[in-house]
Structure formats: structure tokens, C-alpha cells
Amino acid sequence: MRVWIGFIALLLGGALPSQAVYAQQSVALEPIVQVTIAPPRVVVGQKTTLSVLVLAPNYMTSPPELPDFQVRNAVTRQLQSVNTSEQRDGVPYAGVRFEYAISPQEPGSYAVANQIVRIKYAAEPPATREVAVALPRVSFEAFIPDAASALRPFVSANSLTAEQDVRRSSDPLKAGDAVTRTITIRAEGTPAMLLPPQQFPSVDGLKLYPAQPKLEDKVDGRSDVMTSTRVDSATYMVERASDNSLPSIDIGWWNVGSGKVDQVHLEAVPLKGTVTSAVAGPASSNQSARRWTWDSVVDFIFDHWLTALLLVAVTAGFAWFAPRVTRRVAGNLHRRHQAYLQSEAFAFSRLRRAIRHRDSKASYFALLEWLPHLNATQPPISAGAFKAAARDPELDLQLDAIESELFGNRGNPAHWSPRRLLHQLVAARRKLRPRAGSRATTGLPPHLNPVGTPKVTAYGKPAR
């Protein structure tokens, strides 16, 4: 009897460890998530690569759901994703490696934290399981080299070139003509949003009309090398005779490859020889009138003296009144046109056109250009203040989607609806714009922009 009891105990003793091993193995068969970032220290404007490895035992039943990894004061874009498989402790795992490029805009410490990835996998086929795994915190640091501390603004790239194009409506210029100056900056290794914006100064005798900047990023699918382009342009309208010139432009930038500051110089644009339209107009018209009188009028008078007399009277009356009427009408039309170009209606029409073209960049910059016109009695407002005044959740949703597409993960941007955005903007415009002839308006309250409110930067984000 004791022998049987000992044998049974031996069997039970042998079975218990195997169950314990099985329990440990079942606990170990959980998804594995590893996060790394390299390099941990990077120059402002250059990218550091965030790598996320997601592994699951057996296989995944659907792609893992990852966050967009938006980092404050940085531009994030998704790079390539690669399927992978490996064995760990004899257990087969399948998964995906994701990579993201993060380009900081300012010096300081950055961190990717409090993020969760959701994984669906076949724990015991055909049964599936879904888990949420918290990602470990990773951080990096951005800095500006001491040799480039004087650059304002600071921009870094592997290569950078700039060129200008100048177009005149006529040569020589006269009052009413226009000169358009276009500055194109091309760089490699930095997003277009971080390229330096060009400021076009005012010139005496010329009226300045700056245009919206155009930004474009292109990524080589094989090498992941980014090339970016920024185009700034402005039109100068000639108001009166002058001998001025458009000033030269110098762009300083940090050459990452050589580790030194380089300069790009664009020559000044001379505008000499500018004349007014009144100089050439009367003289040429008098010569033309003289030629017509001596060549034709004499014969016409002798043959049709009565008709000639009537024609002279009509011509004299027209010559007396027409220039005044023409100048007055032309002046009124010009003033109305210039007033319309500076009006809220014109700014909103450009915003409407950009939205209908489904261009998120053009729409966002058109919004920032329209906001100062919304209430001329108040200081210019930011996009955040506009959303706070509108109090429209749907408008907030659409604007947040555009900001997520521009400043967040470009590989997986949030979706926005041009139709809904335009509808909500029209409603907010009707609500916030002051009404003509009314003393009390529903315009933007003055406390939205107290003294010291951060200004909107050229990249469309509030300055931190």
C-alpha cells in the first residue's frame, strides 16, 4: 500500500513541474513591442528615426494600430514599414517594424511617451486575442551648433540652393505696371515647413502685394531621401516714378555635411528708368492728331463742309469731357479694385477656392491670411483663438484634421471634408463678422488676444 502511495506521489510530483512550465510558457506567449530612437542627439531641423518593432506569437490577424507619434514643436512623417518574423525561445513570432522620421523645430529635450499600440493575433488558432500594449518612453535632444547660433532663423540641410525670378509687365516701367519677384529655395534633408520664409520689404513708390508661400516635399521611395521646395513671391505695383531697386537677399544655413555655415546670395533687382504714363501719353497723342489733320481733314472739309463742321464740334466736345471722365472712372475703378484686394471678402474668396481644390496647405495658409480681416477693429487672431470664438465642435474637428495632416503623421493623415469645413466656416463668418451699420456686433471679443499672445509663425503653428 505504501509503495502505491509513493508511486502516485512520484507521478504527481512529475506532473506538477510540467504544468508549471506550461503556465510559464502561456504567460510568455504575449506580444512583444520594442521602441528605439536614433540618434539620441540631433541638429535642429534634421531627423531622428523612431523605430517600433511589434511582434506577436503565431501571426497577426490584422495590422497593429499605432498612434500618430505627434511631438510638440516637431514634424513627424512615416517612413517605411517592413514585415518580419523570428523565433524567441523556440516560439515563432511574426510582426512589423515601423519607422518614423521626427524633425525638431527648436532646441531642447523631446520625448515620445504615453502611447499605446493595439494588437490582434492568433493566440490559439483559430481563436484570436486583442491586447493593448503601452509603449516604453524614449527621448532625444535637439541642439543648434555654437558656430550657427547667430543664424536668424536657423535652418539646417545637407544641401540648399536658392534662385530668383523677376518678371516685369513692361520695360521700361510706368505707373500702373507691376514687377513680380519669386524666390525659390530647394533643400535636401529637411522638411519644407522648416525652410526660412522670405520677407519682402516695402519700397518707396511701389505698392507691395505678397502671395501665399508654396511648400512641397518629395521623398525617394528607395533611399528615403527628402527634397523640399519653398516658393515665396510678391508683386510690386508701380505708383509713381522712382529710381529704386529691390534689395539683395542673403540666406545663411547650416551645412550638416561640412559642419559649417554657408551663405546663398541673390542680387538686387534695379528698377531704373521708371516713368509715369503721363510723360509719353500727351506727346504721342498730339503727334498722331497732327498727322491725321494734315493728311485727311483738309480734303474732307472741302468736300463735306457741313459734315466736317458737325464732326469738329463733336470732336471738340469729346476732347473736352472725355479725359476727365476717363480719368475719374479709371481712378474709381482702381481704388475699388485695390480696396477689394485688401478686403475680407477677397481673403475669404481665396480661402473658399483653396478648400474647393482640396489643398490642405493652401487652405490653412489662406485661413491664417483671412483671420486678420475678420474683425478689423481687433488685433489679428490665431487659429486657436478663432476656434475658441466660433464654439463649433465640427469646425474644431475639421481644422484639427488639417493641422494633423500638415504637422503630424503625413503617412497616415487625419481626414477632413472640404464641404463640411466650408459650411462651418461660412457659419462662423456669419456669426463673428461685424455687421455694417450696427453698433453692437457679435465679432471676436478683445480678450482673445491680450498683450503677449504668441504670434503665428510662418509654419502655421503658434510660436512656443
pLDDT tens readout for residues 130-184 = 999 999 999 999 999 999 999 989 999 999 999 999 998 887 888 878 889 999 9
- pLDDT at 378 (0 to 100): 57
Q: Grade residue 112 by pLDDT with cuts at 50, 70 and 90.
A: very high
How far apart CA 183 and CA 266 sit, in angstroms, is: 9
Reported as a single tens digit per residue, the pLDDT across 309-342 is 777 788 887 777 777 777 777 778 878 878 878 7
DSSP strand E in 305-443: where? Answer: none
Say which residues have a Cβ less than 8 Å from residue 379's Cβ, sequence separation at least 6. Answer: 446, 449
Helix (H, G, I), strand (E, B) or coil at 298: helix
Residue 208 grid coordinates: 507691395
Q: Give the CATH fold of the 27-143 domain.
A: Immunoglobulin-like (2.60.40)
pLDDT over threshold 50, residue 278: no
Peptide bond just before 172 cis, omega within 30 deg:
yes
Reported as a single tens digit per residue, the pLDDT across 418-450 is 888 888 889 888 888 766 444 444 445 544 444
User: Which residue in this structure is represented by grid cell 521623398?
Assistant: 219
Domain ranges of the chain: 27-143, 149-270, 278-330, 344-448
Q: What is the mean pLDDT of residues 379-408?
A: 80
What is the SS3 string spanning 7-18? HHHHHHHHHHHH
